[in-house]
Structure 1
Amino acid sequence: MQEPFDVLAGGVVYSVFPEEDNVYTIFKAGVEYGKIEKDTENLWIKLNPETELPMFGDDPEVNRIGEAINNYVPEEEDEDEELE
């Protein structure tokens, strides 16, 4: 499973905790923002906090976070440090 990571979207840093099947738990300023799910390449959906069912509707913030997740490149560990 992928490790948690941070992304910058719209000038805000979000902490991203990957779940299963393109679902991510998002934290904004240390507070749980909610879960989002990738619907299509450019469309992301926020999940209902109680039922975890998709809440359809255009949410620009969710789409910005999703775009940042799509663009995220994990940092490679420095192999030289492991050899020393």
Structure 2
Amino acid sequence: MQEPFDVLVNGIVYSVFPEEDNVYTIFKAGNEFGKIEKDTDNVWIMLNPETETPMFGDIPEVNAIGNAISNYVPEDDEEDGDEE
């Protein structure tokens, strides 16, 4: 499973915790923002916190976080030697 990572969206750092099948738990400023799921290539949806069913509706912040997740490139941890 993918390790948690941070993304920056509009000057705000969101902590992303990958779950299963394109579902991510998102934390904003240390508080749980909610779970989001990739619906289509450019559309992300928020999941209901109680039932985890999709809550359809255009939420720009959710799409922005989702796009940042899609564009995230993990840092290469293999560079632990000194380069000269």
Bin of the TM-score, shorter chain as denominator length: over 0.9
Runs of 4+ in 1 over 2 A off after TM superposition: 78-81
Identity, in percent, stands at: 79
Give the 5 Å matches for 1:3-82. 3-81=3-81
Pairs aligned (count): 81
> CA 1:41–1:80 in 2, change beyond 3 Å: closer, same or farther?
same
Q: Which structure is higher in helix share?
A: 1
TM-score for both structures, normalised by structure 2: 0.93
> CA 1:21–1:31 in 2, change beyond 3 Å: closer, same or farther?
same
Which secondary structure state, in structure 2, belongs to the residue aligned with residue 37 of structure 1?
A: strand
Deviation track 1:12-70 (CA, whole Å, cap 9, x = no partner) reads 10000000000000000000000000001100000000000000000000000000000
1:10 Cα offset (Å): 1.5
Q: Which runs of 5+ in 1 are unaligned?
A: none
- In structure 2, distance between residues paired with 1:29 and 1:80: 30
Output the aligned Cα RMSD: 0.9
TM-score for both structures, normalised by structure 1: 0.93
- In structure 2, distance between residues paired with 1:79 and 1:26: 28
Which secondary structure state, in structure 2, belongs to the residue aligned with residue 45 of structure 1?
A: strand
> CA 1:79–1:47 in 2, change beyond 3 Å: closer, same or farther?
same
Which secondary structure state, in structure 1, belongs to the residue aligned with residue 15 of structure 2?
A: strand
Q: Which runs of 5+ in 2 are unaligned?
A: none
